[in-house]
Amino acid sequence: MLNNLRKDGFEPDVYAYTSLITACASNGKYREAVVGKMGMPWNKIKVLFEGMKNAGILPDEYTYNTLITCCGRGSLYEEAAAVFEDMKLMGFVPDKVTYNT
């Protein structure tokens, strides 16, 4: 879907990525959403996330919360803590969603 947007002249931003990930996950399409242990391994999710940042698509609070959720589903607690620290370093204040996740 992202490739189709680019072909049509649209450059996806963080909201487009996050919306597509959320829509796929909400509909049980975890492989397409690349979330949790039902989709890609954490190392591939991390590469995708770093690729977004390197392309100038900066994550927002919702993206960080989604990554922490992925870690929780995969029992990756150290990785979740690292994402949490990165979130704070980027200037985001964790909210109740972050802490509940």
pLDDT in tens, 36-79: 434 567 787 888 888 888 888 888 898 899 889 888 877 888 99
Every domain of the chain and the residues it spans: 2-100
pLDDT of residue 92: 94
pTM over the 0.75 mark: no
Q: Is the CB of residue 56 less than 8 Å from the CB of residue 19?
A: no
Which run of H or E residues covers position 65? Answer: helix 61-73
User: What pLDDT score was predicted for residue 50?
Assistant: 86
Burial class (CB in 10 A: 0-12, 13-18, 19+), 68: buried
Residues with Cβ within 8 Å of 24's Cβ and at least 6 positions away in sequence, in order, are 30, 32, 33, 35
Q: Which residue has the tokens 């947007």?
A: 5
Q: Rounded mean pLDDT of the chain?
A: 80
Q: What is the pLDDT of residues 77-98, one digit of tens each?
A: 899 999 999 999 999 999 998 9
